[in-house]
Amino acid sequence: MVEAPTHLLERVLEQRVTLVLKDARQLTGKLLGLDEHMNLVLEDADESTAEQTRHLGRVVLRGSNVVTLHAPQGASAKST
């Protein structure tokens, strides 16, 4: 059975993830939450571009701007 994308992301809640956005920015932070539209909340987020890196803190991202999400620890790292 195939899981819905939101269910897959719920398995990496509270983990550090890296997102690549449509405009080529990269955000890294702890995934705090998401909704049915794949909007994401990151805590302690850092934004990286080709020119600079800056600390943003807590951010809310519109799901349609996210191209990829990478969870280095994987979905199996969170115990249920």
Cross-strand pairs, 21:
66
- Quote the pTM value: 0.82
What average pLDDT does range 70-79 have in this prediction?
Answer: 67
Q: Are 40 and 60 in contact (CB under 8 A)?
A: yes
**Position 43 in a domain:** yes
The boundaries of the domain holding residue 26 are: 5-70
Instruction: Order across the sheet with 16-21: list the strands.
Output: 53-61, 40-48, 26-34, 16-21, 66-70
- CATH code assigned at 38: 2.30.30.100
**Position 42 in a domain:** yes
**Position 61 in a domain:** yes
**Position 64 in a domain:** yes
Per-residue model confidence (pLDDT) at position 78: 42
**Position 57 in a domain:** yes
DSSP type of residue 4: P
**Position 77 in a domain:** no
Structural domain count of the chain: 1
User: Tell me: the pLDDT tens digits for 15-63?
Assistant: 999 999 999 999 999 999 999 889 999 999 999 999 999 999 999 999 9
